[in-house]
Amino acid sequence: MNDCRLKNDIALDHEGNEDGVVQKDNEEEKPADKQVVAPEEHPLQYHYSLWFSRRTPGRQASSQNYEQNIKCIGSFASVEHFWRYYSHIVRPSDLTGHSDFHLFKEGIKPMWEDEANKNGGKWIVRLRKGLASRCWENLILAMLGEQFMVGEEICGAVVSIRFQEDIISIWNKTASDHATTSRIRDTLRRVLNLPPNTVMEYKTHTDSIKSVTFMALTFRLQAFTFPGLLYIHIYIFFFCICLFYFCLFC
């Protein structure tokens, strides 16, 4: 996947320059599907790609501009290769604004509409500020280490940094498979060491698409309605003035 190679100039830094992009050393990584794991390295069961995205708060999201926003930092196929990436990126808690890291199996984009995701869903855990880095590391290590024990059902994981809270989620392929989603929930609770009263929400990607579509429609209606109401009020105001002068002088 050529768009997922680590370019000469990218790694994430604390300033978040150009969506968190800053200079790194001049090595260019091969896409994971062409990588050969060195004999001394420990291969992962799946190849993975690490993505980063940042969205301007308040800007209406769409699948098109979302896809343009996500940047593939790189791909890896071994434990050692993963740590080479991970040691060069900023921890989630140090990110600012609406920023997200996405770790997905090679060939799966972190989008609801992706073929591997479209019938699936995600478990969502909302975190108070300051916990995202530890929880994210625990989650991705559990995912890379195949601790969820659900075969190919796991698609990827996301950490989302927001102003008031942070969000951890893990995506799976089949939302209707309740036995699998329950096992993922229980494993997620264990690897994140969540208190028993922690609220965990499961949301299908179909519902997520419907929510975004509804919000976009509402936004457009507001954009259309508010100027329309303003013009109507102005029209009524001038009509009343004309009517007043007509009654006064006629």
For 134-165, the pLDDT digits (tens) are 999 999 999 999 999 999 999 999 999 999 99
CA distance 101 to 133: 11
pLDDT for 46-86, tens place per residue? 999 999 999 876 655 555 677 888 999 999 999 999 999 99
Say if 66 falls within a structural domain.
yes
Kindly tell me the sign of the dihedral angle through the C-alpha atoms of 64, 68, 73, 78.
positive
Residue 184 domain boundaries: 2-204
The domain tally of the chain equals: 1
- For residue 236, being part of any structural domain is answered with no
3-state secondary structure of 241: helix
Query: Would you say residue 119 lies in a domain?
Result: yes
In a domain, 185, yes or no: yes
Has residue 211 been placed in a domain?
A: no
CATH code at position 27: 3.30.760.10
Q: Quick check: 190 and 198 in contact, CB under 8 A?
A: no
CA 233 – CA 50 distance, rounded (Å)? 52
Q: Is residue 249 part of a domain?
A: no
Evaluate whether residue 7 is within a structural domain: yes
Angle (deg, nearest 10), helices 132-144 and 178-191: 130
Contact 48, 82 (CB under 8 A): yes
Question: What is the model's pLDDT at position 15?
Answer: 44
Residue 58 domain-assigned (yes or no): yes
